[in-house]
Amino acid sequence: MPSFRTLAAAVLLLVPGCVRGAAVNSNPGNSHAHGGGHGGGKGGGQRNGNVTHCGTDFCTWWHTTGEINTWTPVKPGNVRQSHRYSVEVSPAGANTFYDSFVYEAIPRNGNGRIYAPTDAPYSNTLSATVDDGISIEPSIGLNMAWSQFEYSHDVDVRITTIDGSTLGGAGSVTIRPTADNLAMRDGGDGSVIIRVPAATNGYRFSVEFANDLYSFRSNGSDYVTSGGSVVGVEPTNALVIFASPFLAASDVPSMTAANTHTMTPGPINNGDWGNKSILYFPPGVYYMNQDQSGNVGKLGSNHMRLGSNTYWVHFAPGAYVKGTIEYFTTAAHFYATGHGVLSGENYVYQANAAEDYVAVKSDTTSLRMWWHNNLVRGQTWTCQGPTIAAPPFNTMDFNGNSDVSSRISNYKQVGAFFFQTDGPEIYANSIVHDVFWHVNDDALKIYYSGASVSRATIWKGHNDPVIQMGWTVRSISGVTIDTLNVIHARYSKSETVVPSAIIGASPFYEDGMTVSPNESISMSVSNIVCEGLCPALMRITPLQSYTNFKVTNVSFPDGLQTNSIGIGESLIPAASGVTMDLIISNWTVNGTKVTMSDFGSTDLGQFNIDVSYWGEWEIV
């Protein structure tokens, strides 16, 4: 049997290498066809057709059903294509460029505020009392585009615009995380070219143009379009590049006709996913087509409940699946692998799987992108490579047994505009590395011992902290977080219940609970960089003691927020009997080191910690 890579490349070449078209629909009722040809790689400023390449050096892909549409839902079998950017990849220095599809996500996915997935777009059926976390974003045209390719050699990535706008030249470009330090140059045709070196862990970065930045302003409660204070700056038309190493052999299932159920692009009807060990999505666009009763054309009204035999879901590069995955396997190891996309764009906010997927919040039954509600002790989930887009609620929760673990790497999350779109649960002894998460809730949920997180890039919305360790009394030790890059944050309020901070701990989620000083949290957080205007370093409501809690090498190169809203102030109030064994070392704000002489709430560090902890903590 041919290798997976051979099969994938063959299918990819069948799909991307032909004449392509993209429906264009920037406003309702205004659409026309956009076509092109094919041929060899493109040099210089050549822009004829769409040509991809898939070899051992790098692999790009395309979708024939790309739809440029900034306002309404795309057609079921289409995929939203960036209205602004073109991305191409060339061997480094060769000036022979091949197309890489540029995806796009928009707030509310073009539906407006709707209650049920069957409600008409912009019918405004969601109760005015429900805050979905989105306010001015649609009106300012905020969107997030991304492009991914696989590679093993140095490459050049060329970015151009397709909407008549200008990029402003390489001198006006910022790549975040800035620590990536990638070289840029002008392409001579209005394009910008970025050199991306081969790297074992790949690169995941935002490309930001000075003429495309939007300053979020707040009156202390909500975003405003004038007045108030600037609380964050983001691209209006975000562009993220995922340069991903080819998957290791261990991350690709050994697929045969006997053990693998291969999906066919197009509508997914009930049970189409079979019950074999491996579920494989070749390149193409897929969408959940039926509700649970079998009625067709019911987008956003069902999800894939895998058979109990299925323990591995694999996405080919170029697979785009509109749906979510629920496992039922009891296998010791279960998987989600591959460089495809799992999109929640057809679901309403907080889609409740127990109530016909309407917008009724339930911590138990609102839909997750990855879900397992029948865990057995000792299971481990490996997630290597996928991108999730437009989640409607929490992105991953596994229930039934907390004695589980995960291995998460090269995992990306984009288009998380709704509230409660958090990072995945990080269970005991989990290992997470080389991830990029756009979140509008907790990013790193540290609720269990022994977890390791490294090389995490976070694009933060305005709800909850980057690191969350609160809501209930916890006993945690052996946690390490190293190399955390927060490339954006735009908190609109000064919050402690949902802390506006890098490191946070919320108060009790449920009533009737009491502080437990004999329990403690111990961890090491090192090499934090917060770019742009930063929120507070720490906002902790102590529910237990903190022991040997170390925060090392923190850089806020652009400074803490200093406005009257107070978002930049760290807050640690008193709690009876609690100890605060905390040491912060080598923390700089605007390049100046914070010390015990300038940490105060009105000084450089804006660090407001209750006097009852004096002598238990220090900043060095």
Contacts of 611 (CB under 8 A, 6+ apart): none
Q: What confidence tens digit (pLDDT) does each residue in 156-185 have?
A: 999 999 999 999 999 999 999 999 999 999
State the pLDDT at residue 50.
78
515: its two tokens: 């502080």
Clarify whether 163 is annotated catalytic: no
CATH number of 442-620: 2.160.20.10
Cis peptide before 28 (omega within 30 of 0): no
Q: Please list the residues that pair with 550 across neighbouring strands.
A: 524, 583
Catalytic annotation, pick one of 119, 212, 397, 441: 441
Question: Residue 52 in contact with residue 86, Cβ under 8 Å?
Answer: no
Q: List the single range of 15-29, 85-99, 484-498 with lowest mean pLDDT.
A: 15-29
Clarify whether 403 is annotated catalytic: no
Kindly indicate the confidence band of residue 30, based on its pLDDT and cuts at 50, 70 and 90.
very low
The CA angle 254-340-114, to the nearest 5 degrees, is: 135
Superfamily of domain 4-106+144-210+237-245: Dextranase, N-terminal (2.60.350.10)
Count other Cβ atoms within 10 Å, centred on residue 268: 22
| Separation CA 604–CA 597 (nearest Å) | 9
Kindly indicate the confidence band of residue 41, based on its pLDDT and cuts at 50, 70 and 90.
low
Q: Among residues 119, 126, 134, which one has the least CA distance to residue 361?
A: 126
Question: Residue 381 in contact with residue 335, Cβ under 8 Å?
Answer: yes
The CA angle 509-430-249, to the nearest 5 degrees, is: 140
Q: What residue ranges do the domains of the chain occupy?
A: 4-106+144-210+237-245, 442-620
Q: What confidence tens digit (pLDDT) does each residue in 335-393 have?
A: 999 999 999 999 999 999 999 999 999 999 999 999 999 999 999 999 999 999 999 99
State the pLDDT at residue 48.
45
| Separation CA 171–CA 415 (nearest Å) | 27
Catalytic annotation, pick one of 119, 132, 422, 434: 422
| Separation CA 229–CA 565 (nearest Å) | 8
Kindly indicate the confidence band of residue 20, based on its pLDDT and cuts at 50, 70 and 90.
very low
> What are the C-alpha distances in Å from 599 to residues 67, 191, 470, 594?
52, 45, 24, 6
> pTM for this structure?
0.93
State the pLDDT at residue 43.
57
- On the CB side of 43, how many CA atoms lie within 13 Å of its CA? 4
